[in-house]
Amino acid sequence: MFDEKSYSLKMDKAIEVFSKELTSLRTGRANASMLDLIKVDVYGQQMPINQVGSITTPEPRMINIQVWDANNVSLVDAAIQKSDLGLNPQIDGQLIRLPVPELNEERRTELKRLIKSIGEKCKVAIRNVRREANEDLKKLLKAKEIGEDDEKTFEKKVQTITDNHIKSVDDKVSSKEKEIMTI
* pLDDT of 109: 84
- The rounded distance, in Å, linking the Cα atoms of 130 and 121 is 14
Of 12, 15, 33, 16, whose CA–CA distance to 24 is shortest?
33
> Does residue 15 register a pLDDT over 70?
yes
Question: pLDDT-derived band of residue 27, with 50, 70 and 90 as boundaries?
Answer: low
Report how far apart the first and last C-alpha atoms of the chain are (Å, whole number): 52
* pLDDT of 28: 67
> Does residue 164 register a pLDDT over 90?
yes
- The rounded distance, in Å, linking the Cα atoms of 45 and 92 is 25
- The rounded distance, in Å, linking the Cα atoms of 14 and 141 is 27
Give the SS3 label for residue 152. Answer: helix
- The rounded distance, in Å, linking the Cα atoms of 41 and 46 is 5
* pLDDT of 103: 75
pTM of the prediction? 0.69
User: DSSP label at 71?
Assistant: G
- The rounded distance, in Å, linking the Cα atoms of 11 and 25 is 22
Provide mean pLDDT across the span 52-59.
Answer: 90
> Does residue 3 register a pLDDT over 70?
yes
In 34-120 the beta strands, taken as DSSP E runs, fall at: 39-42, 45-48, 53-59, 62-67, 90-92, 95-99
- The rounded distance, in Å, linking the Cα atoms of 132 and 129 is 5
Question: pLDDT-derived band of residue 101, with 50, 70 and 90 as boundaries?
Answer: confident
Provide mean pLDDT across the span 92-119.
Answer: 85
* pLDDT of 121: 92
> Does residue 90 register a pLDDT over 80?
yes
> Does residue 154 register a pLDDT over 80?
yes
